[in-house]
Homo-oligomer: A and B are copies of this chain.
Amino acid sequence: MPLDDTAPINDRELVLVREIDAPAHVLYRCWTEPELIKQWFAPKPWEVPHAETDLRPGGASLIVMRGPDGTEMPNAGVYLEVIPGKKIVFTDAYTAGWVPTEQPFFTGIVEFHDLGNGRTRYIARARHWTAESKKQHEEMGFHEGWGICADQLAALAKTL
């Protein structure tokens, strides 16, 4: 293992790391069960009215976010790799059944490292095909947005 396994692998990756007071398997549930996703995935006051998770390589992932003014933002993609309780990889570069999308933006890698005592090191990576996409994601507020959601995730996980 490298000295710092959370450093970005290149200048096209964004990384968020948190230690969370909840077990890895609970965080995994929050990332994969639609009824739980709805409770934390969008930074409030945004909501998640709809979530679908077909947890296999090439299976659809659809999470619709809705803003306070009713604007809906669908996040459609596929899962690339799912290791229950440990890791989830997904991307918007395909829709279900490996159909390439016209605007691939990023690939998400979420890891749940068990620290013992019911605590987890949570690592969320966003990898981009271009430096421009990475910059755009950063300017869209990646760190703030994913950070707020990580707080919401931690708060929900504590109740489970």
Residues of A with Cβ closer than 8 Å to B? 9-10, 12, 57-58, 80-81, 89, 93-94, 98-102, 104, 107, 109, 127-130
Do B101 and A129 have beta carbons less than 8 Å apart? yes
Shortest distance between the CB of A67 and any CB in chain B (Å): 29
Q: How far is the CA of A102 from the CA of B109 in the complex (A)?
A: 18
Do B98 and A89 have beta carbons less than 8 Å apart? yes
Do A107 and B98 have beta carbons less than 8 Å apart? yes
How many copies of this protein are present in the complex? 2
Q: List 13 A-B contacts (CB under 8 A).
A: A10-B99, A57-B81, A57-B89, A58-B80, A80-B98, A81-B98, A93-B93, A93-B129, A94-B107, A99-B127, A101-B129, A102-B129, A104-B104
Sorted nearest first, the 7 A-B pairs with minimum C-beta distance are A100-B129, A57-B81, A57-B57, A100-B127, A58-B81, A89-B98, A98-B107
Shortest distance between the CB of A118 and any CB in chain B (Å): 29
Q: How far is the CA of A68 from the CA of B57 in the complex (A)?
A: 38
Q: How far is the CA of A80 from the CA of B129 in the complex (A)?
A: 17
Q: How far is the CA of A107 from the CA of B100 in the complex (A)?
A: 8
Do A12 and B100 have beta carbons less than 8 Å apart? yes
Shortest distance between the CB of A105 and any CB in chain B (Å): 10
Do A9 and B129 have beta carbons less than 8 Å apart? no
Shortest distance between the CB of A55 and any CB in chain B (Å): 12
Chain B residues positioned under 8 Å from A98 (CB to CB): 80-81, 89, 107, 109, 127
Chain B residues positioned under 8 Å from A128 (CB to CB): 100
Which residue of B has the minimal Cβ distance to A125? B98
